[in-house]
Amino acid sequence: MLSVPLERMLLGLGDEHVILEPRSGQLLHPEALVAFERLAADARNAGFDPLVVSGFRSFERQRTIWNRKASGQRPVLDSDGAELDVAQLSPEQIVYAILRWSALPGGSRHHWGTDFDVVDAAAMPEDYRPQLTPREVADNGLFGPFHVWLDERIAAGESHGLFRPYAEDRGGVAPERWHLSYAPRAIELQQLLTPERLCEQLQRCELELCDTVCDQIDTIYTRFVAVPDHCYPNFDK
Ligand SMILES: [Zn+2]
């Protein structure tokens, strides 16, 4: 059994474990905030200006997104970004289509506050709204130079424990170069988040396609929730 505070943190059921990142108004785990501030200071010396655009997200918010997509109130997109007709898909197909772009409630690393999405404010034209698209973060995209710099920092072990859990396409979550994670805390939380624990929580709330999700939970967990150990950087524990 997990303690109540730990379970609330793990599944995004509460926000007691996160604090305000003042500039963005986003909420982060205190340790992730320190790591981000150190990284941001290094980045400013190199001419970049990292800005958090999305930090902590709650279980409830992720559940709302999920239910809207599953019920056709919000578009479900294929891997290329084209809209799918959910009426033509089996429940299983809908589940996997949603998972390509949206986390399973309870299965999002954003619940932990250790993970956040970042852009380079120094590269943004005035009034620019970040889209978080592959194009923006490609080497020749708007935020490309910042991400190339960041790749070098991560490879050199000089990113203050931050790494990219979705650097490559492992057949699950689409690559998200903008998504950073504070490894020392995230790796501990990931170990606590088991498929069984996830299904217990999903069955307690009203989730569309819950039976299909729980039938498939081992596959979903491997492809969309767990980040393999070898993807984590070496860090001093
Ligand atoms: Zn993210």
pLDDT tens figures, 199-230: 999 999 999 999 999 999 999 999 999 998 88
CA of 119 to the centre of ligand 1 (A): 11
The Å distance, Cα 210 to ligand 1 centre, comes to 23
Q: What's the 132 CA to ligand 1 centre distance in angstroms? A: 9
Whole-prediction pTM:
0.93
Q: How far apart are CA 189 and CA 195, in angstroms?
A: 13
Other C-beta atoms within 10 Å of 62: how many?
21
Give 181 Cα–ligand 1 centroid separation in angstroms.
Answer: 9
At residue 133, does pLDDT exceed 90? no
CA distance 235 to 118: 21
Whether 236 has a pLDDT exceeding 60, the answer reads: no
Average pLDDT, the chain: 94
The answer to whether residue 237 sits within a structural domain is no
Domain membership of residue 71 as a residue range: 4-226
% of the chain beyond a pLDDT of 90: 84
CB of 203 closer than 8 Å to CB of 210: yes
Establish if 148 belongs to a structural domain: yes
Q: Which residues of 69-88 are buried (b: 16+ CB within 10 A; e: fewer)?
A: bbeeeeebbeeeeeebebee
Ligand 1 centroid vs 102 CA: distance in angstroms?
Answer: 10
Q: Is 114 a domain residue?
A: yes
| 22 Cβ contact partners less than 8 Å away, ≥ 6 residues apart | none
Question: Using CA atoms, how far apart are residues 35 and 128, in angstroms rounded to an integer?
Answer: 26
Q: Phi and psi dihedrals of 146, rounded to 5?
A: -65, -45
Q: Is the pLDDT score of 237 beyond 70?
A: no
* 103-125 burial code (b ≥16 CB/10 A, e <16): bbbbbbbbbbbbbbbbbbbbbbe
pLDDT for res 203: 95
pLDDT at 100: 87
Q: How far is the CA of 14 from the centre of ligand 1 (A)?
A: 18
Containing 76, the helix (H) or strand (E) segment is strand 76-77
Q: Is the pLDDT of residue 5 over 60?
A: yes
Q: Report how far ligand 1's centroid is from the alpha carbon of 178 (Å).
A: 7
CA of 227 to the centre of ligand 1 (A): 13
pLDDT digits (tens, 9 = 90+) for 72-109: 999 998 887 789 998 899 999 999 999 988 999 999 99
Give me ligand 1 centre to Cα 108, in Å. Answer: 8
The predicted pLDDT at position 186 comes to 96
Query: How much is the pLDDT for 235?
Result: 65
Distance (angstroms) between ligand 1 centre and the Cα of 118 equals 8
pLDDT in tens, 151-200: 999 999 999 999 999 888 777 777 899 999 999 999 999 999 999 999 99
**Domain harbouring 180, CATH code:** 3.30.1380.10
Distance between Cα 126 and ligand 1 center (Å)? 24
What is the 1 CA–ligand 1 centroid distance (Å)?
28
Q: Stretch 104-120: mean pLDDT, rounded?
A: 97
Is 162:117 a contact under the CB 8 Å cutoff? no
Residue 236 included in any domain: no
Q: Give the residue among 189, 4, 228 at the shortest CA–CA distance from 110.
A: 189
CA of 166 to the centre of ligand 1 (A): 9
In three-state secondary structure terms, 185 is helix
Report DSSP state, residue 222. I
Q: What percent of the chain has pLDDT over 70?
A: 99
Number of domains, the chain: 1
Cα angle value 80/85/87 (rounded, 5°): 150
DSSP 94-136: HHHHHHHHSPPTT--GGGGSSEEEEEEGGGPPTT------HHH
